[in-house]
Amino acid sequence: MQPFYKTSSVHTHTTFCDGKNTPAEMAQAALEQGLKTLGFSGHIHTPPDTSYCMSVEGTAQYRAEVSRLKQEYAGRLEILCGVEYDPLAGDILPDDYDYVIGSVHAVRGKEDGKLYAVDFTTEEMQNCIMQGFGGDAAAMVREYYEQVVKVAAKKPTILGHFDLVVKTNRNGILFDEQSKWYHDIAQQALDACIEQGVCFEMNTGAIWRGWRTQAYPDDLLLRRMAEKGARLTITADAHEKDALLFGYDECARRAKQAGCKQLLVLTGRGFVAF
């Protein structure tokens, strides 16, 4: 029998946005991998950047396909229709999905007003710091986390990849993740988000795609979550069917080592603690 934390995967992407597999392929794989709950969380349509998200027409098709799969898999696999919200889509959090993952994927430069994706390439983030923030990495980091806190205040079901800003920072090429200034900014934002009562995710997506060696959040932030009794779940941010449960066991081990007393699993009945 699978550990309870490996019965649900709810941060997933399909060919309706930037994923590699169709919803039908993901559902069949979820069933074969022993999942009890599969949640689809397509990237919400973001007019300023449509390169990775669902189109307006595609969103309607996505919802129809997930609805069809719910019926097809009824009694065998619980399927949820969710969405990954980004503030680029507007100020209002959608309320017509089974659940919402709230995430920040970009910052706007203070100096040049340009939009920079924080999770695309290291080169883009170097340009973001130099051109968008006048070479001030701390200013960029602060802007990112301020946006995350604003998303948390909207009370999404799950707050996505809290420290995504470190994704492309291989070997500290952008800034020192162990510096006091970085963790002061991140921890202040973390505490503010915890006060909102949001559920954070341990997200393994960047490991699968070769960017990181450890799931978000980093150990220092994870220990802070444990100290504060933050709500926490495990997700794969899966963009393909083989990644649905990637890294879950290691996340559970890290959470326990950090002092987390429980993990949450999202189901059709809401979160279940174990």
Task: Please state, rounded to an integer, the average pLDDT across all residues of the chain.
Answer: 98
Residue 51: partners with Cβ closer than 8 Å, 6 or more residues away: none
Whether the pTM exceeds 0.95: the reply is yes
Mean per-residue pLDDT for 207-233? 98
| Number of domain units in the chain | 1
Find the domain containing 36 and state its range.
4-273
Q: List, in order, residues 6 or more apart from 262 with CB less than 8 Å away.
A: 232, 273, 274
Q: Say whether pLDDT at 1 is over 80.
A: no
pLDDT of 2 reads 83
Q: Tell me, what's the pLDDT at 274? A: 87
DSSP state of 170: G
Question: b/e for 139-157, b at 16 or more Cβ within 10 A?
Answer: bbbbbbbebbbebbebebb
Residue with tokens 């980091």: 141
| CATH number of domain containing 161 | 3.20.20.140
